[in-house]
Amino acid sequence: MKKVKPQSFVRWFDRQFDSNTGSEYFDEFLQRLEHFPSVLNKLLKSCPIEASTRKMGDKWSVNENIGHLILLEDLWRIRFRDIKEGKPDMSPADLNNTATDESSFNNMLFEELIKNLASERHKTIAMLQKMSEEDLLKTSMHPRLHQPMNIIDLMYFVAEHDLHHLYTIQSIIGNMENI
């Protein structure tokens, strides 16, 4: 099992990631990615609707965090494809998260959002399952981190991004209980 440094409450953009992770971690990371929507669903089973849409200052609500994850699934697939196709650089993300901020995720039920996330994640999992051993070893440069990443590295990056938002959602729910 890959050692995970406890960086859960480090700002996402301050996180550091190793690269050149071996293909022996493929199944572990695939499982983390595949099971994340159900982990999120379990966490939110007892979350009141009003708590899922409440914002704390300028921070995203629970629903907006989930919506952000949905929006990023397409980027993850594009980046996996970039690596597989041997592109020197991965496609960039909108670091301002404009699409998340402009979406109306608070007008949706979190159950619907999780269902959408599971559907999008299923497409990503299906894509990853078709990768060859040779594909797993190719690298492309991550645009923000400025380091080469292979498919496994990016899988870990995505799984850690999921975890970052899971911790954020747990914190939001915990803060709601204290109000």
Question: How far, in Å, are 32, 57, 155 from residue 124 at the CA level?
Answer: 12, 33, 10
- Amino acid letter, 27: D
pLDDT of the chain, 179 residues: tens digit per residue? 443 444 456 777 678 788 888 999 999 999 999 999 999 999 998 888 888 999 888 899 999 999 999 999 999 999 999 999 999 999 999 988 899 989 999 999 999 999 999 999 999 999 999 999 999 989 999 999 999 999 999 999 999 999 999 999 998 888 776 54
CA angle in degrees (0–180, nearest 5) for 65-81-160 = 35
Question: How far, in Å, are 22, 42, 142, 154 from residue 19 at the CA level?
Answer: 9, 31, 10, 9
24-177 has which fold?
Answer: Four Helix Bundle (Hemerythrin (Met), subunit A) (1.20.120)
- CB-count burial class (<10 Å; 0-12, 13-18, 19+) for 98: exposed
Q: How far apart are CA 80 and CA 168, in angstroms?
A: 25
Name which of 172, 168, 151 is nearest 33 in CA terms: 151
Residue 149: its H or E element: strand 148-150
Q: How far apart are CA 113 and CA 69, in angstroms?
A: 10
**Predicted model pTM:** 0.90
